[in-house]
């Protein structure tokens, strides 16, 4: 298996998703977050937010809500069972709240291998903009692909 470095620079089709209270509630249940600001609009407003805020790593649920889910793996022609998450970084430029319509666009910024091609690394960046077109966050991720051929050598 070898990934095609010509895919560096590939930009995916943007999509827009609405931040939903019910999904934040489920997300918080999963991560064990019990701060009332994430479930109760009054508590959020009392704490100085204009609506229920999305928890810091809820942006992953926003970027995962792509109707063309799995686009990166299809582009790379990689099976989902071979990937691991290498790194993730968020830069928060403005708060994201329930009701916001967030437009996400992902771009492949680097592809490289280590250990003689046993592991491949795909770095991508996603810009998140709100309904006014303002950049609210940047997400940078590194996806690690285990080369199934490496084990056979």
Partner 1 sequence: MTSVPKFDQVKVGDEIKPIVLPPISRHQLALYCGGSGDHNPIHVDIDFAKKFGFKDVFAHGMLSMAFLGRIVTSWVPQKQVRGLGTRFTSITWVGDVITVSGKVTGKREANGEKLVDLEVKCTNQNGQDTLQGNATVALA
Q: Which stretch binds partner 1 (CB under 8 A): 6-14, 41-49, 108-116, 127-135?
A: 41-49
Binding of partner 1 by 67 (CB under 8 A) = no
Size of the site for partner 1 (CB under 8 A): 40
Binding of partner 1 by 16 (CB under 8 A) = no
Tell me the residue ranges of DSSP E strands in 32-134.
83-92, 101-114, 119-129
What is the smallest separation between the CB atom of 77 and partner 1, expressed in angstroms? 16
Residues 6+ positions from 125 with CB-CB distance below 8 Å = 106, 107, 109, 138, 139, 140, 141
Binding of partner 1 by 135 (CB under 8 A) = no
What is the smallest separation between the CB atom of 6 and partner 1, expressed in angstroms? 26
Binding of partner 1 by 92 (CB under 8 A) = yes
Binding of partner 1 by 37 (CB under 8 A) = yes
Instruction: Give the CA distances from residue 75 to residues 45, 68, 78, 119, 139, in Å, rounded to whole numbers and listed in that order.
Output: 42, 12, 8, 17, 19
Q: From the CA atom positions of the chain, what is the Rg in Å?
A: 18
- Kindly tell me which of 6 and 22 has the beta carbon lying closer to partner 1: 22
Query: Considering only residues 9, 14, 36, 56, which one is a binding residue for partner 1 as defined by CB under 8 A?
Result: 56
Q: Contact positions toward partner 1, by CB under 8 A? A: 23, 26-33, 35, 37, 47-49, 53, 55-57, 60-61, 64-65, 69, 79-92, 95, 140, 151
């Amino acid at each position: 298996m070898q990934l095609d470095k010509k895919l560096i620079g590939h930009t995916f089709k943007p999509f827009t998703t609405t931040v939903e209270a019910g999904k934040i509630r489920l997300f918080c249940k999963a991560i064990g977050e019990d701060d009332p600001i994430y479930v109760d609009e009054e508590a959020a407003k009392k704490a100085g937010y204009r609506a229920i805020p999305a928890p810091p790593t809820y942006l992953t649920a926003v970027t995962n809500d792509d109707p063309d889910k799995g686009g990166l793996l299809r582009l790379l022609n990689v099976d989902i069972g071979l990937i691991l998450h290498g790194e993730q970084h968020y830069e928060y430029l403005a708060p994201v709240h329930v009701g916001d319509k967030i437009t996400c666009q992902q771009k492949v910024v680097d592809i490289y291998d280590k250990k003689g091609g046993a592991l491949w690394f795909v770095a991508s960046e996603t810009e998140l903009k709100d309904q006014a077109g303002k950049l609210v966050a940047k997400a940078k991720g590194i996806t690690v692909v285990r080369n199934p051929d490496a084990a056979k050598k």
